[in-house]
Structure 1
Amino acid sequence: MRSTARLLGQLELAATRYAGSLHIPECIPSTSYSSISTCAAAWEISNCGCVNNTSSSSSSSSSTASSSSCSSISLQQRRLSSTQASAAPMQQPAAALQPSMLDLEATRRLQEMLAYDAARQAAAAAAAAAAAQPKPRRRINIADVPQFQLPSKSKQPASPVHQPAVDWQQIVEQVRRSGQLVTGEQMLTDTFRRKHTYLRISLTERCNLRCTYCMPADGVELTPSQELLAPAEVERLAKLFVKAGVQKIRLTGGEPTVRKDLQEIVARLNTLKPLGLQTIAMTSNGIALGRQLPGLVEAGLSLNGLNISLDSLKAERFERMTRRRGHARVLQSIQQAVDMGFDPVKVNVVLQRGVNDDEVADFVELTRQQPINVRFIEYMPFDGNVWSTQKMVPYREVMARIAERFPEGLQRHQDPAGEVAKNFSLPGFKGSVSFVTSMSHAFCGDCNRLRLLADGALKVCLFGANEVSLRDAVRGGASDGELAAVISAAVDRKKAAHAGMEVLAVTQNRPMITIGG
């Protein structure tokens, strides 16, 4: 009886499934092995019941069991028939199904299952075959790689908006109404009593290198040539500053050697030395410097005022950092400057962690036998150079590395007033080592610098966004006295110090190449 009851349960499940009353989730195929097994079990029970109901047995106990089984089967069949009379297509109890019908149904479902499995295996095999096929190599257009993109007039980023610190027209009108003029000393002294005696003049925004920390990967919007300061305008403004007390002028860029009238500008500035100008200096990347250096010296370039940028002593790394070739030419320019008597030849090195900071000791070695001043400059944030505190190497860390390699120790120099670098030398070395610590140890309290950009904007702080256009004032007809008043008003707005590193990193400013190195 217990065995019969278990078989009846299987029969009920099979009959209910075929009657359509058992829900099968969509994610489970209806042609599963379990369904077919249940159908086969139902057929066996049905067949067994019919045989026991029609055949006689010599044993009375067997007849009683068979009669009881058939009675139970009939009762179960009637219950299912009464509750699911409307279910189609099955219209009679499962026990009444012929074995041939169940065999056909089981065979059909088995075939569906096998077809489903075969299709799935074929799809998997096709996917594996496609993955195994070698992919065609795609040619890369180097112009599409961001770090190799050059500035183009057809696709240039929008230039940032620079809010003027001073409305030069308003200042000129006030001077014309009042007749009050500013003196030279007043023009160059700010509200914190800092007197500015050092003027940096950027001559161009163009450059023959694409240094990652200076020029954004997508280039910059270049100022049209007619909007750059002409040689006569450079001379006039420089004369105004020199007469007010500026003693040193440095020419920068971009790269100043790409400007064809560079030698003329140096010669014009040289005429200001009787007025108090002491030094005409220049910063160059050295690529095209060698062939121009003799003419620049003849025009008046000071032999103590040459800086050459070189961020790596390894040619491959140099090309990666500058996105250009020319490492050998830079080294030749440095040696040529030494041979021509420049003393010292200053080599600017912008250190970046994980990029070139492993070359500190090698750069220091340059100062052993030659009058070279290696200047380690802390990495500074400007528009488009992807600055981060993790990339910056503080000068104290650099000093510690030098002390490990050179146990004789660095000896501190007596720095002149307004000097932005911390200067050292090693015993027995002809050259020296300096640290420009704009980020970790700012020198704002002693800052004596002003910047005149290539487009004629006066920038009183390297990290300040406010500017005033002296070019527009000159071309607008302002007199020297009125220009002095405009300059004085801009200098008065210079802050006591620039913001911290995190603030500078998110402050809108020009890219370094348009400010001047």
Structure 2
Amino acid sequence: MLTDKFGRNINYLRLAIVDRCNLRCTYCMPEKGLSWIKQKDLMTDEEMLRICSVFTEMGVNKIRITGGEPFVRKNSIELIQNISQLDGLTDLSITTNGLLTEQYIPQLKKYGIKSVNLSLDTLDKERFLRITRRNSFDKVMKTLYSLLQNDIKVKINTVVMEGENMEDIIPLVMLAKDLPVDVRFIEEMPFNGGDTDISLKWNFTQIYSYIKECFPEIQKVDDPKSSTSYNYKIPGFTGDVGIIAAYTRSFCGDCNRVRITPSGILRTCLYEGSGVNLKDEIRAGKTDEELKNIIINSIHNKSKDGWEAQKLSLTESQIHQSMATIGG
């Protein structure tokens, strides 16, 4: 097992396969988009597969495919298929915005994808257009129901933004009444690709208090080990509700994850400003054993929590980088 200096076992890799996205969500990037990573600086399919193979040989058994939007990448479904066949991998999942996903659902099921995180910040078409700057609400909802019909577990990820989508919190909670979905509300983070500061009003405590006012019978349930969300059950509801303290970072104590950016940088924390570039190491001719030693050293120096990581290495200019660049 990969272990950091705090004794935390690292068994979860978040792999961003592309930085591009077909939405322009206000909390992630400017309306004009970003300065996309040049093709030559992106990892190839072979490089990503090799990195994943090295990690699974070292005890990583869970990989989540992220982006940008994963399905924007050409041949992404073939890459997912190849990753799904790695020895030692027991949990392969995907985070997507749902616009291009529906066509691949039969294949995802065939490749053993049992869980999909679906980004959905509102149930109102007009607000969806305002937040994402794209008129694609119906596509996302179609994907949601298609995933459920194919018995793929869905976690809905909602970023809570003051002045944008507070009206959607309760309607989104109500989705879990009859549908087997986990609706998870996420504190807004500063990674918006611009220079706009965020409001901290809608933090974990405020979100929970708001939900409890409408559902006073809400009950805390046990959180799985290394869970990023605080999880709740409302009596009579089919699905569950969760809150992710992404900015206040109160879940770092038993962190089990690292991430690879689309350009191949290993980041041991979302709030880390730098990291070793495994893609460059591969192109420099490093063997698998040499890669493993690089990974072991990086993980050993993983910060205690997101606050320490930010203090040590995240510069002011990096605070507003986009999640699409970091890897969602």
If the length of structure 1 is used for normalisation, what is the TM-score? 0.60
Alignment match, 2:50: 236
- What is the CA RMSD across the aligned residues, in angstroms? 2.0
Matched pairs, number: 325
Q: Which residue of structure 1 lines up, in the alignment, with residue 113 of structure 2? A: 302
Greater per-residue strand proportion: 2
Shift of 1:224: 2.0
Alignment of 1:131-142 (within 5 A): none
Letter in 2 for 1:237: I
Structure 2 residue identity aligned to 1:192: F
The reply to whether residue 396 of structure 1 matches residue 208 of structure 2 is no
Structure 2 vs 1, CA of residues 492 and 425 (structure 1 numbering), >3 Å: closer, same or farther? same
Contact 1:217-1:384 within 8 A present in 2 as well? no
C-alpha distance in 1 between matches for 2:318 and 2:132: 24
- Structure 1's 388 and 501: CA in aligned 2 closer, same or farther, altered over 3 A? farther
CA displacement, residues 422-476 of structure 1 (integer Å, 9 cap, x when unaligned): 1111111110001111223521211111001111111111011021110011111
User: Among the aligned pairs, what percent are the same residue?
Assistant: 37
Q: Secondary structure at the match of 1:292?
A: helix
The answer to whether 1:381 aligns with 2:190 is: yes
Instruction: Label 1:516 to 1:441 Cα distance change in 2 as closer, same or farther (>3 A).
Output: closer
Aligned to 1:214: 28
Cα separation, 1, equivalents of 2:174 and 2:125: 17
CA contact (8 A) 1:394 1:437 kept: yes
| Paired AA for residue 92 in structure 2 | I
> Following the alignment from structure 1 to structure 2, what is the Cα–Cα distance between the partners of residues 301 and 352?
34
The answer as to whether partners of 2:26 and 2:192 remain within 8 angstroms in 1 is no
Alignment of 1:119-158 (within 5 A): none
**Which structure is richer in relative contact order (CA contacts within 8 A, separation 6 or more)?**
2
CA contact (8 A) 2:272 2:309 kept: no
Please say if residues 351 and 392 of structure 1, whose CA atoms lie closer than 8 Å, have aligned partners that are also in contact. Answer: no
Matching of residues 66-215 of structure 1 within 5 Å: 185=1, 188-215=2-29
Alignment partner of 1:267 is 2:85: no
CA distance in 1 between partners of 2:231 and 2:137 (Å): 26
Whether contact under 8 Å (2:119, 2:157) holds in the other structure is yes
Distance across 2 between alignment mates of 1:507 and 1:500 = 17
Corresponding position of 1:325: 135
* 1:429 and 2:241 aligned: no
Per-residue CA distance 1:193-247 (angstroms, 9 max, x = gap) = 1111110000101111001111134432212223322222111111111111111
Secondary structure of the structure 2 residue equivalent to 1:368: helix
d(CA) in 1 for partners of 2:59 and 2:80?
19
User: Does the aligned pair in 1 maintain the 2:156–2:181 contact within 8 Å?
Assistant: yes
C-alpha distance after superposition, 1:52-97 (max 9, x if no partner): xxxxxxxxxxxxxxxxxxxxxxxxxxxxxxxxxxxxxxxxxxxxxx
The aligned residue for residue 161 of structure 2 is 352
> Aligned ranges for residues 406-445 of structure 1 at < 5 Å?
406-407=215-216, 409-445=217-253
Give the conservation status (yes or no) of the 8 Å contact 1:380–1:387.
no
Structure 2 distance, partners of 1:491, 1:501, is: 13
Mapped pair 1:513 → 2:324: yes
Which residue of the partner structure matches residue 101 of structure 2? Answer: 289
1:297-320 CA distances to partner (integer Å, 9 max, x unpaired)? 22x1422x2011011111111111
- CA contact under 8 A between 2:34 and 2:193: conserved in structure 1? no
- Pairing partner for 1:280 from 78, 92, 96: 92
Residues 1:466 and 1:262: Cα distance change in structure 2 (over 3 Å)? same
2:146 aligned residue (336, 358, 378): 336
Aligned: 1:257 with 2:65: no
1:473 aligns with 2:284: no
The match for 2:122 among 289, 307, 312 is 312
Structure 1 residue identity aligned to 2:182: N
Q: What is the deviation of 1:350?
A: 0.1
Q: Is the 8 A contact 1:457 1:470 kept in 2?
A: yes
Distance 1:239 1:377 in 2: 31
Partner of 1:446: 254
Separation in structure 1 between the aligned mates of residue 325 and residue 308 of structure 2, nearest angstrom: 22
CA deviation string 1:278-302 (max 9, x = no partner) = 111000001111112212222x142
Deviates more, 1:216-225 or 1:385-394: 385-394
Partner residue of 1:36?
A: none
- The answer (yes or no) to whether the contact 1:424–1:434 under 8 Å persists in 2 is yes
Aligned to 1:151: none
TM-score (norm 2): 0.94
Q: Residues 234, 393 of structure 1: CA spacing in aligned structure 2 closer, same or farther, 3 A cutoff?
A: same
C-alpha separation between the residues in 2 aligned to 1:301 and 1:214? 29
For the structure 1 residues 387 and 193, does the alpha-carbon distance in structure 2 shift closer, same or farther, using more than 3 Å as the test? Answer: farther
Q: Which has the higher helix share?
A: 1
Once residues 383 and 288 of structure 1 are traced to their aligned partners in structure 2, the CA distance between those partners, rounded to angstroms, is 23
Q: For residue 206 of structure 1, give the secondary structure of its aligned residue in structure 2.
A: coil
Q: Distance in 2 between matches of 1:213 and 1:385?
A: 9
Structure 2: tracts of 5 or more residues without a match: none
Distance 2:26 2:65 in 1: 21
Distance 2:299 2:183 in 1: 31
Contact 2:249/2:306 (<8 A) preserved: no
Task: Report how far residue 250 of structure 1 moved.
Answer: 0.3
CA separation of 1:384 and 1:430: change in aligned 2, threshold 3 A? same
Can you give the 5+ residue segments of structure 1 that lack an aligned partner in the other structure?
Answer: 1-184
